[in-house]
Amino acid sequence: MESDAKVLAKRADEMLEIITGLWSGKPFSYRGEYYQVLKKTTFLPVPKQKPRVPIWVGGFWPIKGPFRRAARWDGVLPLKLGHPIRPYPQDLRDILNFIKQHRSSLNHYDVAIVGWATGRSKEENAKKIRPYVEVGLTWWLESLYVGHDSLDKMRKRIQKGPPKF
């Protein structure tokens, strides 16, 4: 398995070109350094979303490459090197400032964080998540594997619903 970061980055770029080409619904072929779609292929049905299914790119901050890539697509799902791996609101502010340097606008750009709110009340959850929203978060993806070690606990957390702002 390849572990060189530059090679992995090139492979990721090629994969993104292939998937978006296939999602076009038009005959598509591709010859890259790492991947090939040699026979013209039409992938149907095409995604309902326009121009395509949104692509969110993840990466570990402060490594800049994944965030330059994220700036070319529809959103970002950042992690942070070290502990905790979820970025703090100030980290998210820095990440979005960096991304803004590489795209014209953050309008219609998704910013997602995987985390765990307290789950005790919608108000407590909102208090935890609000600082992220204030710097640009558009999606809070509640982690159900932390502290929810059974299907019953996961269901109870889901039933409490999203935070109220």
pLDDT at residue number 146: 65
For residues 144 and 79, what is the distance between their CA atoms, to the nearest angstrom? 17
Structure tokens at 30: 């591709």
Which has more confidence, 145 or 20?
20
Q: What is the CATH number of the domain that holds 151?
A: 3.40.50
- In terms of Cα–Cα distance, which of 155, 147, 114 is closest to 132? 114
| Cα dist from 46 to 20, 23, 30, 43, 67, whole Å | 10, 6, 18, 7, 27
**165 in a structural domain:** no
Residue 132 in any domain: the answer is yes
End-to-end Cα, the chain, rounded Å: 45
Residue 108 has pLDDT above 70, yes or no: yes
In this prediction, residue 148 has a pLDDT band, given cuts at 50, 70 and 90, of low
Res 18: pLDDT: 98
Give the length of the chain: 165
What is the total count of domains within the chain?
2
Do 40 and 87 belong to one domain?
A: no
Is residue 24, in this structure, part of any structural domain at all?
yes
Decide which of 29, 47, 65 is a domain's last residue. 47
116 pLDDT tier (thresholds 50, 70, 90): confident
**Domain final residue, candidates 31, 47, 63:** 47
Q: Which of 13-17, 28-32, 42-46, 118-122 has the lowest mean pLDDT?
A: 118-122
Mapped onto helix, strand or coil, the DSSP state of residue 38 is: strand
What's the confidence (pLDDT) of residue 150?
A: 82
For residues 62-81, give the mean pLDDT.
Answer: 97
Q: CA-based diameter of the chain, in Å?
A: 55
pLDDT for res 120: 78
